[in-house]
Amino acid sequence: MDKTIQEVLDCYKMCVETKMYCLEKGGKHADPKHIQALADCAESCKMAADFMIKKSPLHGKVCGVSAEACKRCAQSCEVMEDDEMMQKCAEMCRKCEESCMKMSSM
């Protein structure tokens, strides 16, 4: 579990940083749906960390939400193939999605 907690915290940090980068870049990077995907992923990863740290009986359900949010965020980032920052964010979200999926089915 400790590994997953650090992973969701890293993913949360990455998504907040990516969101700031995208707002600065503007254009398709600042598309409301893309910004929302990043914000949703950041928020739900933060909450998943919280519920895992306090060993809540609901942590599996919250990880289910963050897995879904990670998937959507990765998809939204992967579209921008030519942007290294987006590819890095997508990669982290995919890894985090997998860990959250495992946690949600336990």
* Residue choice 4, 23, 80, 102 for contact with a second copy (CB under 8 A): 23
- Find out whether 77 and 18 touch, Cβ atoms under 8 Å: yes
Residue 46 binds a second copy, judged by CB under 8 A: yes
Cα-Cα-Cα-Cα dihedral sign, residues 47, 106, 14, 90: negative
Rounded CA separation 91/85 (Å): 10
- Find out whether 7 and 71 touch, Cβ atoms under 8 Å: no
Residue 106 binds a second copy, judged by CB under 8 A: no
Which of these ranges, 11-19, 79-87, 89-97, lies near a second copy under the rule CB under 8 A? 11-19
Which amino acid does the sequence have at 25? K
Choose between 75 and 102: whose C-beta lies nearer to a second copy: 75
| Residue span 56-95 as binding mask against a second copy, x where in contact by CB under 8 A, dash where not | xxx--xx-xx--xx--x-----------------------
